[in-house]
Amino acid sequence: MTGLFEDQFVRIFDKVEHKIALPRSHQAPPRTARIVSTSLTPHLRLLLVIYWLRHYPRYSVLAHTFGISQAQVHREIYHILPILYEVLDEITLPPVLQPKPPFMAVGAVDCAVHHRKRVHPGQAQYYRGDKRAHFLLGNYRNIISYCS
């Protein structure tokens, strides 16, 4: 579900467990005097957030999957995301980007077609009538002319 191996998930959980277990009001000043407890275990709370980061489903799907309300899903995500950002310092960029042979390029442009699961208003230009779905395709002509 998360794209992580079990040992990776356990290692991340060990790093964030003590902060996830703290009440939300301990992390930041509460906006209201009402404190809402959670019915999920810390393992499930972390699983919910990592699943959301990987697949980005709607809150209603997560609420149905984990048996909680959409408001609870929102609270869990915005409680745990800053904790993950603070604790996980393993993801870094290389100190200096050096061109790599054989192309002597620093990056690449992905010209693959990607199916869009969530479509927002004003994205009719991405609709393909032959496939009857929305797809995202970079306008590579503009990229090439911009790079030249």
pLDDT tens digit string along 115-144? Answer: 677 777 777 777 777 777 777 664 444 444
> Is 60:94 a contact under the CB 8 Å cutoff?
no
Q: What is the dihedral angle through the alpha carbons of 89, 91, 95, 98, rounded to the nearest 10 degrees?
A: 180
Per DSSP, the residues of 120-143 read -TT-GGGEETTTTEEEE---HHHH
Structure token digits, residue 2: 């998360």
pLDDT tens digit string along 61-95? Answer: 999 999 999 999 999 999 999 899 888 876 666 66
What is the Cα–Cα distance from 4 to 16, expressed in whole angstroms? 16
What is the Cα–Cα distance from 110 to 73, expressed in whole angstroms? 33
- Give the count of beta carbons closer than 10 Å to the beta carbon of residue 48: 23
pLDDT tens digit string along 15-59? Answer: 999 998 887 655 555 555 555 566 889 999 999 999 999 898 999
pLDDT higher at 102 or 63? 63
Q: What is the dihedral angle through the alpha carbons of 118, 124, 130, 134, rounded to the nearest 10 degrees?
A: -10
